[in-house]
Amino acid sequence: MARLFGTDGVRGLANRDLTAELTLDLSVAAAHVLRAEGEFAGHRPRAIVGRDPRASGEFLASATMAGLASAGVDVYDAGVLPTPAIAFLVADYGVDLGAMLSASHNAMPDNGIKFFARGGHKLDDAVENAIEERLGADWERPVGDQVGRVRPLTDGAERYLAHLLSALPNRLDGLHVVLDTAHGAASEVAPEAFRRAGARVTQIGGEPDGLNINDGYGSTHLDKIQAAVVEYAADLGVAVDGDADRCLAVDASGQVIDGDKIMTILALAMKERDQLANNTVVVTVMSNLGMLHALDREGLAYVQTAVGDRYVLEEMKRRGHTLGGEQSGHVIMAEHGTTGDGTLTGLMLAARVAQTGRTLTELAEVMTELPQVLVNVKGVDKDRAGSDEGIQAVVKDVEAELGTSGRVLLRKSGTEPLVRVMVEADTTERARECADRLADVVRERLAL
């Protein structure tokens, strides 16, 4: 049977793949596994459950709370809040478990569930595997006063807002910021945070109705915020996704500032404040070579991981690094959270603009982005991509041709029979020519 848990919890078409029954069973199994590992030893367990505004989140959150309560866990219903807010609240309240119902940037029909252990950390693979193995197992049900109780969490948003504002190194007075909240989980807390920090806020994508999350708005649909920043003559724009664990930015001219540029800007700010542990940024293999050149030039080190925020976080925890993330805008600042936080990232970026008196355009000039071309080669034997001598020979030839002005990356997809060919070069034309040449070789050598 295929593994239920992906890189970010269990996700699928709501009420088809992710049903109320499965969600309830996953919640029961999670409670049992954590209890068996001693996480609940000596006390009555508590959990916090949150969701994004998707219509399906209403019944899936209810199923989650029912499952946990039936397993003897007291549950606090946080309602609609961003994923990083739930992670923070799990740690802040000192509860044993958290659950978030969201499919992040996916379209409305999808939904997902992810769990957080004590401290607000995502579960590791071994615990997730144990939860899957526990599904459907017999268990002794608590009765009487041993069943869990379900109560509203009334001050979750306020505590999260206080946390965001306490992290800021300076206020945002005088800045005009356009916020695109994707009709998602941050539609109320994100603009409130920016306003309390002193910014003037124009909001778009801020009217969630349960059906419109990520629909043409948010960090995966930047055309509207690009137009809005120019129309309102704002200083910058910040766009988060549906559960607000990532963000991308837009400068005053409407140009996109991606996760690599955001991390480079924040790295320099954190270095100045002596908050960049080991003077190192953790990035993935997909981060633009221009970012790596910029970090080198500024005397900063970097560590590269596989694609996925969980791999970035694992490396940060292992080495004690305080900044890491992905090109997609999933930025983790370990001093302030255990997961990516789009609202916090946007606030920190705006704070840097306010503190320096420089425009976002000027700040982003620290990094020159190299043209990047990605070709997906479908219908091939992806597992031979790393060992085929013919492919490796052509890769070496292209790398020698590009020298220090570019790079090559071949990655097999984790879910489809395809190989991703990525080439960066000093011009788009050169990157395209090299990527197409490599893709042709992959297609020929790995044909099924």
Q: How far is CA 203 from the centre of its chain?
A: 21
Distance CA 131, CA 27 (A): 9
Closest CA to 359 of 272, 267, 233, 182: 233
260-292 pLDDT per residue, tens = 999 999 999 999 999 999 999 999 998 999 999
Closest CA to 238 of 329, 312, 365, 363: 329
Q: Are strands 121-122 and 110-117 parallel, antiparallel or unpaired?
A: antiparallel
Q: Is the pLDDT of residue 385 over 90?
A: no
Domain 372-445 sits in CATH at 3.30.310.50
Quick one: pLDDT at residue 2? 64
Known binder of ligand: residue 245?
yes
Kindly state the percentage of the chain with pLDDT values over 90: 87
Residue spans of beta strands (DSSP E) within 182-336: 200-204, 236-240, 247-251, 256-257, 280-284, 301-305, 323-325, 331-333
In which region does residue 220 sit, left (phi positive, over 0), alpha (psi from -120 to 50) or beta (all else)?
Answer: alpha
The CATH number of domain 10-154 is 3.40.50.620:
no
The total of other beta-carbon atoms located within 10 Å of residue 199's CB is 27
223-239 pLDDT per residue, tens = 999 999 999 999 999 99
With bands split at pLDDT 50, 70 and 90, how would you rate the model's confidence at 412? confident
Report how far apart the first and last C-alpha atoms of the chain are (Å, whole number): 24
Known binder of ligand: residue 241?
yes
Distance CA 230, CA 166 (A): 30
Q: How far is CA 145 from the centre of its chain?
A: 39
Lowest mean pLDDT among 81-90, 196-205, 304-313, 331-340: 304-313
Same fold: 10-154 with 159-364: yes
Q: Is the pLDDT of residue 107 over 90?
A: yes
Active site residues: 104
Cα 134-77-163 angle, rounded to 5 deg:
110
Is residue 420 within 8 A of residue 376, CB to CB? The reply is: yes
Q: For the chain, what are the domain ranges?
A: 10-154, 159-364, 372-445
Known binder of ligand: residue 102?
no
Q: Which two tokens stand for residue 27?
A: 């919640």
The CATH number of domain 159-364 is 3.40.120.10:
yes
